[in-house]
Amino acid sequence: MIPADVFDEHRGRLKAVAYRVLGRVGDVEDVVQDAWLRWSTVDPATVDDPEAYLVRVTTRLAIDRLRSAQARREQYVGPWLPEPMLTSPDVAERVALADSVSTAMLLVLESLSPLERAVFVLREAFGYSHAEIASFVGRSEVSVRQTAARARAHVEEHRVRYDTDLATRTEVTQRFLAACAGGDLRRLVEVLAPGVELVSDGGGLAPAPRKVIAGLELVAGALLTFAGRLPEAPSIAVEELNGGPAIVVYSAGTPAVAVFLHLVDGLVHSIHLVSNPEKLSGIPPLPSAT
């Protein structure tokens, strides 16, 4: 077996695990690279289960990196949102995987400890057994079962059950985009829930409200104001991000803003807007800009 070929066979799984544990595209690349460096020193013939070995290494590296990141978070300016990531339609078709990578779920996972988050992701998103996870994280199976139960209970308490139907999500996203682009307050209000919230992440590097905006009128007003301040000659598209449709605003072909809509009963319940330029590396630039 050629080490590089074996690693490449599992690279997609490793990136998927790392992203769900970290919620940061740049950190994912670093973790996967570190996992490769460790794997490159191992004789594959001596490893009975390469996937288990690589997932174990990746998980532990991700947990360590997440612990460091949480300490840095205390200095973050304004609300924090996960970094958007381009996903493929096949992920969106698998509801469990799509939900586990949505910005709404990743935000809920931020309230777990690094170990709880890793255990939850490995169990709920990827279906590993408690025994397998125990070997990945270096804990007993009994401890992992308790951690998994605690994490699941926490997530169930704090998560909102958003609509998962892709046709509905895409249709509402298109209506939302048309209303904002046309400055049509009436049409915009039609797709917003009364208690809608807008969470904007500019990280202090891009203009963005530093507090959550709540309420139909305030959110609608903020959105139309934002739409009126778009860069000159922007390109706007609906892309497949984080397991579902999202609006991406490009400036000179480079991603400038990503907008995620989370629906309940067909109305927009929560809006996540990411404009921090350091968080948009997971969205490729338009072909003409490369």
pLDDT at 233 over 80: no
pLDDT digits (tens, 9 = 90+) for 59-69: 999 999 999 88
- pLDDT bucket at 151, cuts 50 / 70 / 90: very high
Question: For position 90, what pLDDT does the model report?
Answer: 60
Report residue 166 as tokens: 């892709």
pTM: predicted TM-score of the whole model, two decimal places: 0.90
Residue 86's beta-bridge partner residues? 241
Structural domain boundaries in the chain = 3-75+112-158, 166-289
What's the average model confidence in pLDDT over 180-196? 94
CA distance 190 to 72: 39
CB neighbour list of residue 233: distance below 8 Å, 6 or more residues apart: none
CA distance 125 to 148: 12
pLDDT at 116 over 90: yes
Question: For position 249, what pLDDT does the model report?
Answer: 95
Q: Contact at 8 Å (CB) between 263 and 163?
A: yes
Class of domain 166-289: alpha beta
pLDDT at 87 over 90: no
Q: Which helix (H) or strand (E) holds 168?
A: helix 166-181
- pLDDT bucket at 146, cuts 50 / 70 / 90: very high
- pLDDT bucket at 89, cuts 50 / 70 / 90: low
Average pLDDT, the chain: 92
Closest to 122 measured CA to CA, from 84, 91, 148: 148
Percentages helix, strand, coil for the chain, rounded to the nearest 5?
Answer: 55, 15, 30
Question: For position 91, what pLDDT does the model report?
Answer: 56
Closest to 90 measured CA to CA, from 82, 101, 81: 101
Per DSSP, the three-state class of 94 is coil
Question: For position 175, what pLDDT does the model report?
Answer: 97
pLDDT at 8 over 70: yes
Pairwise pLDDT comparison (92 vs 1), residue with the higher score: 1
**Do the domains spanning 3-75+112-158 and 166-289 agree at the CATH topology level?**
no
In one letter, which amino acid is 81? L
Report residue 179 as tokens: 């209303």
CA distance 290 to 268: 34
For domain 3-75+112-158, the CATH superfamily is: PhyR, sigma-like (SL) domain (1.20.140.160)
Question: For position 72, what pLDDT does the model report?
Answer: 74
pLDDT at 231 over 90: no
DSSP 265: T
What's the average model confidence in pLDDT over 224-228? 89
pLDDT digits (tens, 9 = 90+) for 241-271: 999 999 999 999 999 999 999 999 999 999 9
pLDDT at 33 over 60: yes
CA distance 84 to 277: 11
- SS3 per-residue string spanning 110-163: CCCCHHHHHHHHHHHHCCCCHHHHHHHHCCCHHHHHHHHHHHHHHHHHHCCCCC
